[in-house]
Amino acid sequence: MFLFLLACSLTTSEFNYWEEQRGQFEELGYLWIKGFYSPEQVMLLRAWSDKIAESSNALLSMSRATEISLNTLQQTIPGSLIVVPEAKDPQKVCRAEDLLTCYPELHSFVYGTLTSYLSYLFGEPYVLFKDKINFKWPGGGAFPPHQDFPAFEFFGPKEHITAMVCIDEATIENGCLQIAHHWKDIESIEKNVIQQGAYVLPYVVGGPSHGTIQKEICDQIIWLPILAKPGDVVFFNSYVPHYSETNQSHSPRRAMFFTHNRLRDGEYKTAYYRSKRNDPENPMFHFGTPTKARNK
């Protein structure tokens, strides 16, 4: 019904635009929209990223000064950021999460842009599932090839769409996102079918590579480097394999990630972050990431 009402109010060229975008997403599992945000909106995103970095570093310093672990601080300070250090350098913040609880204006901004865009694109309401910023400071860790779904499967929805928002220009040198292109053509692999057209590839369970897709499979995938510019947005579903290399440059490569699911599949953001704050070392929260967990 939503789609029908929407279609009635569109011009032909608008209708064609949405059809084309939807077709691309359905065919490839991702959609790269260049210049999604205006230069003014990019300035705002940069300002939020700077503030979040400052608050994340303040939490790390507080943890050092008080000798209260970061995990305990995040359980003790309601509404604080969830800050996850790099496994190889615990003084560096790999990512900060639950941003939208701490920054209500950022929440409105994301809802009015990305969430609305997805709802238009698919003709039904979408809601946020989780949100984060990956800082990828110079020397910052690589994310091994993984699919996101197995990290989310303990909550209800069987499909998620993440919007990656590029904050700093992404290059090969600074470890841009690399996304699997036409990966469904790979033959004769063992697949765990979740639903029609959606399957999980075999991956390493436990240990430092928890969540990494097996190497023989990665070698068959054609990877597309996403050389995104600030303000570009890449939507991708939770089954598309992706990875990124270490940042070999001298500047950060920051990107925000806003994961959504269809409203009709339920709202899980509060439950997701309650679980994460209560059990931050659970490997499911460190799937295919350069961060530390139990048994990882």
- Between residues 60 and 228, which has the closer beta carbon with respect to ligand AKG? 228
143 near ligand AKG, rule: CB under 6 A: yes
Do residues 189 and 216 lie in contact, with contact meaning Cβ atoms separated by under 8 Å? no
**Site string (89-108) toward ligand AKG, x via CB under 6 A:** --------------------
Cα–Cα distance measured from residue 265 to residue 262, given in angstroms and rounded to the nearest whole number: 5
Contacts of 37-44 spanning 24+ positions with Cβ under 8 A: 37/113, 37/165, 37/230, 37/231, 37/233, 38/231, 39/231, 41/109, 41/113, 41/231, 42/167, 42/230, 42/231, 44/109
- Between residues 118 and 290, which has the closer beta carbon with respect to ligand AKG? 290
Q: How far is the CB of 103 from ligand AKG (least distance, A)?
A: 19
Cα Rg of the chain, angstroms: 19
134 near ligand AKG, rule: CB under 6 A: yes
Residues 162-181 that bind ligand AKG (CB under 6 A): 177
Binder among 242, 262, 269, 296 for ligand AKG (CB under 6 A): 242
Cα–Cα distance measured from residue 225 to residue 170, given in angstroms and rounded to the nearest whole number: 9
Do residues 253 and 140 lie in contact, with contact meaning Cβ atoms separated by under 8 Å? yes
**Site string (20-59) toward ligand AKG, x via CB under 6 A:** ----------------------------------------
Cα–Cα distance measured from residue 10 to residue 123, given in angstroms and rounded to the nearest whole number: 13
Q: By Cβ distance, which residue is nearest to ligand AKG?
A: 244
Are β-strands 222-225 and 177-181 bridged in parallel, bridged antiparallel, or unpaired? antiparallel
- The number of residues that bind ligand AKG (CB under 6 A) is 10
- Between residues 15 and 137, which has the closer beta carbon with respect to ligand AKG? 137
239 near ligand AKG, rule: CB under 6 A: no
Q: How far is the CB of 296 from ligand AKG (least distance, A)?
A: 14
Q: How far is the CB of 289 from ligand AKG (least distance, A)?
A: 6
Token pair belonging to 258: 């806003």
Cα–Cα distance measured from residue 209 to residue 213, given in angstroms and rounded to the nearest whole number: 9
Q: Which residues bind ligand AKG (CB under 6 A)?
A: 134, 136, 143, 177, 242, 244, 255, 257, 288-289
